[in-house]
Structure 1
Amino acid sequence: MEHTVTHFDTRLLLAKYKKIRMQSEHLCSPLETEDYVVQPIPDVSPPKWHLGHTTWFFETFILLPNFSGYKEFNAQYNFVFNSYYETVGARVLRTDRGNLSRPSVADIYAYRAYVDEQMEVFLENSVLSDEVSAVLELGLNHEQQHQELLMTDIKYILGHNPLFPAYRETDSVEEDLSVMDSGFISMAEGIYEIGFKGTGFSFDNELGLHKKYLEAFDIASSLVTNGEYLQFIQEGGYENFIWWHSEGWDWIKQQQAKAPLYWHFIDGKWMHYTLGGLKAINPYEVLCHVNFYEASAFAAWKGMRLPTEEEWEAACDHFYWGERWEWTASAYLPYPRYSKQPGAIGEYNGKFMVNQMVLRGGSTATPEGHTRASYRNFFHPRHQWQFSGIRLVR
């Protein structure tokens, strides 16, 4: 029997909707108009595209199929703001998002205002089915994912401007995160439950609660610091192939990589770009912006390794996490009994379960309340632009 969402619940959802939608615009408030359009590399989307795409999600999956009489804001926007949903039709290539001088920034803010107004009318005058409520909850979490991507993409855009402009002079995302403790936590061998359990929202890639046998292991209670990684650099870590996977060594040679993203050796001193501008490296601060190749090479140099995602989840109640996305040694694959949903929503996670590595824990760029112990992020091993760090296992 299908249940429905009450008007009381709908009002709570509307309040949550407004709060999340306002946060996306707040994150963009320090930007100049020109900043909204830049796409330095294919992996980075222009900020205005994020604002349009998250709006398109609600229009496409909530309003158009469920709100009788709804008039589409602009029929061309499906082509412009569809990200990867083959079910929904043709779309602008990801590499061409930076060529979209039109629609303008003003057009996109008008689009957001229109859809938000229509969503408010819809939610205030509807009793939602479980199915529609679930899509709405997915849309809200989807926008929160894009808020994190907004921060990483804005940092990449400004951090590759030769003037190194500050996003905000003081910004909580880039607050100093110093390691307060050190040492290792011993985890006993045994069978551990892995995956989402309980109530509330989760993504489909967290589902399939299952048991996993783990050998005994010791996991670091804190993340690797800038100072520890600097020692790796100074002792020739980027010049010695022995520490690197073959693909990682190829990446080193192709990119001529010598340090984490945003690190610059200027006048005999290591500096790094932050959202507050260019600053000297603090050796006691938690490391950030390394890719999987760098994380695994550093671990090998230390005579250790990265945790598997199952080890990380089994141990995460014993250490503080949430400052950096933490690379794991696990490929991004489906859990037992994983099942894709029908239609376009089924394209959300499953189609990416190949050639990517799992990250756990969230970061200071992750919206409050968006992550949890079972949350699985995933990126290709080469990616540095996330707020990612390293936790070791021995």
Structure 2
Amino acid sequence: MTDPAIDAPHIDAEALRERALTTLTTARTRTTLLTSCVEDPDLTAQHSPLMSPLVWDLAHIGNQEELWLLRAVAGRDAMRPEIDGLYDAFEHPRSERPSLPLLPPAEARAYAAEVRGRVMDLLESADFHGTRLTQAGFAFGMIAQHEQQHDETMLITHQLRKGPQALTAPDPEPVPLFTGPAEVLVPGGPFTMGTSTEPWALDNERPAHRREVASFHIDTTPVTNGAYQAFIEDGGYDNERWWTAEGWAHVRKHSLYAPLFWRRDGKQWLRRRFGVTEVVPPDEPVVHVCWYEADAYARWAGRRLPTEAEWEKAARHDPATGRSTRYPWGDADPAPEHANLGQRHLRPAPAGSYPAGESPLGVRQLIGDVWEWTASDFLPYPGFQAFPYKEYSEVFFGPEYKVLRGGSFAVDQVACRGTFRNWDYPIRRQIFSGFRTARSAGDV
């Protein structure tokens, strides 16, 4: 599929080269921190059957970079063809990966570093025209996004890891308790969903298309821990009426009673966060809830989860111009005042933070802090075409997966924008997932 932005004749090669260099370097700096802050036994151990050993992620990052940049783009021979199968995410489920003959930590680091060195040489003379893969530096952007996605995955593994604290980061700036309106009205009408002009957008974000959305109200901020505690205290986990049949069966089977990592201590709730036990802060967005929990809370509150189209309209539609912007605040890349991204903090910021990042309608924290569950299944857009491989998106389309939007504190800006789509099973709680609720305009 031809993309008009990528086919633009006037490509600033030096600007693209600098962007690719910056995003690749930023990703590798984070990868290095996540894999150097613990000893080798923690790198090779599997801290949860839901996650790979950290050392697998490290070598997988290098292998994908070699596969797409050195082989597919540069046409070079495989450096270590014997390891391709070990690091093919579709060949071995995560639960089996510890039993594979994986590269040990020192060898995995050396392999990833050698690949990166060759990629840096390639980048110096890269042609940003030519094939669809190379136009506008797409392949470099795809690999930077891939590494940052695994950096988020590795941070999830760190959260699941038992033992003392290994990662630290400053907390977000404190803000006054948010006293603005609880919800915002998003007027009905058409808007442009998806993109055909974002050079590094992935296949499931494409193509741009018109979508009609009826008027609805959406929460100004994500649902907070304090609000979610009210659901718990009201017996939300014990009342079948709030749950779908599948959700209720899941709650009963696994004895769920609160978000993952929470436990009650007398009259207060505590949580474990990256090796530290702390009192649950009431004004932070709730995190580590599955889709079933988010949906049940919304029903209890007399509301519902927003659809994916509603979420994107709230995040991108500017009613003054009728345009869909790249981000809620406009087209500019995220800056620290806009959103909590990039693992610079290891927790969500308090609800109501980042007024500079709000949408034209006044909705806050749509980007960063927590991935937000939507009501929608993960499905292709009209005119979707898989690129550059079906296994990125196409094999996941269907009702088994629910869409999450907006990114979290753990994701970098290169892998987060107003059109970016994430997806997971509705039972997943180890991810940095929260939500906000909505209601149709005619509902009371």
Q: What letter corresponds to residue 261 of structure 1 in structure 2?
A: L
Equivalent position SS for 1:76: helix
1:179, 1:222 within 8 Å by CA — same for their partners in 2? no
Match of 2:166 in 1: 167
- CA distance in 1 between partners of 2:270 and 2:47 (Å): 21
After TM superposition, give the deviation of residue 98 of structure 1 in Å: 2.5
Q: Does 1:187 align with 2:231?
A: no
After TM superposition, give the deviation of residue 144 of structure 1 in Å: 1.4
1:258–1:101: structure 2 CA closer, same or farther, 3 Å change rule?
farther
After TM superposition, give the deviation of residue 173 of structure 1 in Å: 7.6
After TM superposition, give the deviation of residue 99 of structure 1 in Å: 2.7
Higher helix share: 1
1:333, 1:353 within 8 Å by CA — same for their partners in 2? yes
1:69–1:385: structure 2 CA closer, same or farther, 3 Å change rule?
closer
Match of 1:370 in 2: 415
2:47, 2:157 within 8 Å by CA — same for their partners in 1? no
TM-score under structure 2 normalisation? Answer: 0.79
1:225–1:100: structure 2 CA closer, same or farther, 3 Å change rule?
same
Equivalent position SS for 1:242: helix
Q: For 1:267-306, list aligned pairs within 5 A.
A: 267-275=266-274, 277-306=276-305
1:116–1:217: structure 2 CA closer, same or farther, 3 Å change rule?
same
Name which of 381, 387, 401 aligns with 1:335. Answer: 381
Name which of 47, 52, 55 aligns with 1:45. Answer: 52
1:328, 1:360 within 8 Å by CA — same for their partners in 2? yes
Q: For 1:22-41, list aligned pairs within 5 A.
A: 22-41=29-48
- CA distance in 2 between partners of 1:215 and 1:10 (Å): 39
Q: Which runs of 4+ in 1 moved over 4 A?
A: 1-7, 68-71, 172-179
- CA distance in 1 between partners of 2:57 and 2:263 (Å): 29
2:46, 2:53 within 8 Å by CA — same for their partners in 1? yes
Q: Does 1:58 align with 2:65?
A: yes
After TM superposition, give the deviation of residue 279 of structure 1 in Å: 0.5
1:174, 1:364 within 8 Å by CA — same for their partners in 2? no
After TM superposition, give the deviation of residue 265 of structure 1 in Å: 1.9
- CA distance in 1 between partners of 2:61 and 2:78 (Å): 18
Match of 2:390 in 1: 346
1:366–1:10: structure 2 CA closer, same or farther, 3 Å change rule?
closer
1:179–1:50: structure 2 CA closer, same or farther, 3 Å change rule?
farther
- CA distance in 1 between partners of 2:404 and 2:54 (Å): 24
Q: Which range moved further: 201-210 or 295-304?
A: 201-210
Match of 2:106 in 1: 106
TM-score under structure 1 normalisation? Answer: 0.88
Name which of 141, 145, 160 aligns with 2:145. Answer: 141
After TM superposition, give the deviation of residue 176 of structure 1 in Å: 7.1
1:96–1:3: structure 2 CA closer, same or farther, 3 Å change rule?
farther
Match of 2:344 in 1: none
After TM superposition, give the deviation of residue 32 of structure 1 in Å: 2.4
Match of 1:248 in 2: 247
Equivalent position SS for 1:347: coil
1:362, 1:371 within 8 Å by CA — same for their partners in 2? yes
Q: Which range moved further: 30-39 or 210-219?
A: 30-39
1:79–1:59: structure 2 CA closer, same or farther, 3 Å change rule?
same
Match of 1:88 in 2: none
- CA distance in 1 between partners of 2:224 and 2:298 (Å): 13
Name which of 405, 418, 422 aligns with 1:360. Answer: 405
1:173, 1:364 within 8 Å by CA — same for their partners in 2? no
- CA distance in 1 between partners of 2:275 and 2:82 (Å): 37
Q: Which range moved further: 128-137 or 305-314?
A: 128-137
1:313, 1:374 within 8 Å by CA — same for their partners in 2? yes
1:173–1:211: structure 2 CA closer, same or farther, 3 Å change rule?
farther
Q: Does 1:384 align with 2:391?
A: no
Equivalent position SS for 1:103: coil
Equivalent position SS for 2:438: coil
Q: For 1:220-259, list aligned pairs within 5 A.
A: 220-259=219-258
- CA distance in 2 between partners of 1:53 and 1:42 (Å): 18
Match of 2:81 in 1: 75
- CA distance in 1 between partners of 2:208 and 2:431 (Å): 27
After TM superposition, give the deviation of residue 202 of structure 1 in Å: 0.6
1:79–1:315: structure 2 CA closer, same or farther, 3 Å change rule?
same
Match of 1:20 in 2: 27
- CA distance in 2 between partners of 1:41 and 1:177 (Å): 35
Match of 2:370 in 1: 324
Q: What letter corresponds to residue 139 of structure 2 in structure 1?
A: V
- CA distance in 2 between partners of 1:4 and 1:186 (Å): 40
Question: What count of residue pairs does the alignment treat as equivalent?
Answer: 379
CA RMSD of aligned residues (A): 2.5
1:191–1:380: structure 2 CA closer, same or farther, 3 Å change rule?
same
After TM superposition, give the deviation of residue 107 of structure 1 in Å: 1.1
- Identical-residue share of aligned pairs (%): 31
Stretches of structure 1 lacking an aligned partner (at least 5 in a row) = 85-90
